Amino acid sequence: MTLPSPSAIDLPAHSASDRRAASPITLSTYDLGTGPAVVFCHGFPDLALGWRHQLEPVARAGFRAIAPDQRGYGGSSAPEAVEAYSLTELTGDLVGLLDALDIERAVFVGHDWGGFVAWAMPVLHPARVLGVAGICTPYMPFPGVARHLSLVDGEVERQYVAWFQQPGVAEAAMDSKVRPILTRILRTGAPIEELVRFAIADGRLDMNPFLNPEKWPPAGLPLVPPDVLDEYCRTYERTGFRGGIGWYRNIDRNAAEHPDVGTRPLDLPCLMITAEWDPGLRPEFAAPMRALCSDLEMHHVPRVGHWVQQEAPEVVNGHLLAWLRRVAR
């Protein structure tokens, strides 16, 4: 599937969330179709390209499908300051994108880290949100660094979120291993029991495939065709991983600044799609949403992994389009 080239969208100064950025923010953005706006928010280590199976079908269905490389990724701005990657800035960028495109309100669809940003939108910017769809990522607070570290008995190098907190360490190790990392990460799902067996191969839990990706046995099958993998690799070989890692370095700041995100009840249309074999964002994590979301539709996709929107696009698109036709007309 060939997408049109993305456009560089300069965020308006009054709404570009640049309180800690040294310069204005530009987002490299796919923008297809006309109609009610649907903004797709990718996660780590992904790009707007990760929504390639959704953009054209959603546009053909009568919606305006928009997917930016978010701040720190791909062709978008990547400020130096770690503080420039907090939820304040990331949600502010989405408001700025709506302003730049003259859109009053949109539906936000998020996967992985992009899901946490999408779910923060109705809490921090409710007037700009028609609805939210989470792909794998439920509406919940992001677990703090201490919680991640406790999973590996305090051994930082065995837990990637904790390891990411050390200034300069992760990018120094990862930027020379772009293809091994992406080849290991961009794979279809595998049974959880198989993934657990890989993670405790030496008798201790290892939750850091980014440090030594060559040591991890490949689970599942290659997720993307060679030309798409090449595009991912070219992009990260140019940018490195610093921008995306910056999002992780704001986890505890986000909790302190925005304690209501993930806990405040939501009174707007919500869609949640879970994946059976997602090892990190387990389907059961979405259960508390039933008490928090007054208008919630939930679907479960069996026998697929974390990249469900790429692994099972027909299933995801079917659920997403049916929901969009109900809530965004």
Instruction: For residue 217, give the nearest of 242, 199, 202 by alpha carbon.
Output: 199
Residue 94, token pair as written in the block: 């989405």
Pairing of strands 106-111, 129-135: parallel
| Residue of 31, 46, 112, 206 marked active site | 112
Note whether 40 and 65 are within 8 A (CB): yes
- Assess whether 300 carries a catalytic annotation: no
Compute the C-alpha angle 256/84/32, nearest 5°: 110
- Assess whether 112 carries a catalytic annotation: yes
Note whether 242 and 174 are within 8 A (CB): no
Cα–Cα distances (Å) from 141 to 17, 165, 270, 284, 295, in that order, read 22, 18, 16, 15, 19
Q: How far, in Å, CA of 102 to CA of 95, rounded?
A: 10
SS3 (DSSP) at 64: strand
Q: How far, in Å, CA of 155 to CA of 267, rounded?
A: 41
Instruction: For residue 89, give the nearest of 180, 25, 41, 164 by alpha carbon.
Output: 25
Instruction: For residue 255, give the nearest of 153, 123, 125, 136 by alpha carbon.
Output: 123
**What 8-state DSSP symbol labels residue 107?**
E
| Residue of 42, 148, 258, 306 marked active site | 306
Q: How far, in Å, CA of 176 to CA of 240, rounded?
A: 8
- Residue 320, C-beta contacts closer than 8 angstroms, at least 6 positions apart: 54, 58, 109, 133, 271, 273
Strand order in the sheet with 293-301: 7-10, 26-32, 64-68, 37-41, 106-111, 129-135, 266-275, 293-301
List the catalytic residues.
Answer: 112, 306
